[in-house]
Amino acid sequence: MVNPQQVLIAEDPALNPSPVDAVVFDLGNVLIDWDPRPAIAAGVGDDRAEAFLTGGEFDFGAWNLAQDAGRTFAEGEALATAQFPHLADEILSYRANFGESLRGPIDGTVAILKQLHAAGIPLIALTNWSAETFPVALDRFDFLDLFEDIIVSGEEGVAKPDPEIFEELADRVRHLGSLDDCIFIDDKLANVHAAALAGMDAIEFTSPEELRADLLVRGLPVEQ
């Protein structure tokens, strides 16, 4: 016969301490499918968008990262269009059609997030994202409400992999514990390395299936 008290212990997260202080998720291309091509293509068409992003003349990644690190889009667009006036339509199309870049949730990872939340695991997001465009994601994806805290690089004025943003993370999770007992998940290897240097157990995200396996071996309740 099953002891009711044993069942209660098994199901009550408060009576089952978490194996980690918190799980820290990146958002873009971990929980949210982000692709700038559709946003740019909405203004200039598919062929021009593809040439803009892959032609090598304009470094979109570096330009966009500056907005993620706190530069305003107005400033970034002014600088870029002055230097590349023939690409002004492409540059301006990204922010104008930003919602098109958010292709939807990555369902497998969202399912993992919901399992961790249901088990009482503290959840934090640490995302490289412009402060100006992040409200679009907040309005669209209700699973973001599952996070205890969301650290947005554009609001902090510093982006991953800069060590300073991990210092901010350490301050924000201090009430839960230390970075040494947190798991960090990100799709960019540079950010994973930076998190590891900050003392975290860092996982490179490649797919929801691989993430589930990585978390299972760490004792987290994410079984299918």
The 3-state secondary structure of 141-172 reads CHHHHHCCEEEEHHHHCCCCCCHHHHHHHHHH
Domain 4-31+106-216 in this protein, CATH class: alpha beta
What would the pLDDT profile of 73-111 be if each residue is shown by its tens digit?
A: 999 999 999 999 999 999 999 999 999 999 999 999 999
Partnered with residue 126 across adjacent β-strands are 151
Given pLDDT bands bounded at 50, 70 and 90, which one contains residue 224? confident
The predicted structure's pLDDT at residue 19: 81
pTM: 0.90
CA angle 75, 95, 166 (to 5 degrees): 70
pLDDT attached to residue 3: 42
Three-class SS state of 58: coil
- Domain spans of the chain, in order of start: 4-31+106-216, 36-101
DSSP string, 96-142: HTGGGGEEEE-HHHHHHHHHHHHTT--EEEEE---TTTHHHHHHH-G
pLDDT digits (tens, 9 = 90+) for 19-69: 899 999 999 999 999 999 999 999 999 999 999 999 999 999 999 999 999
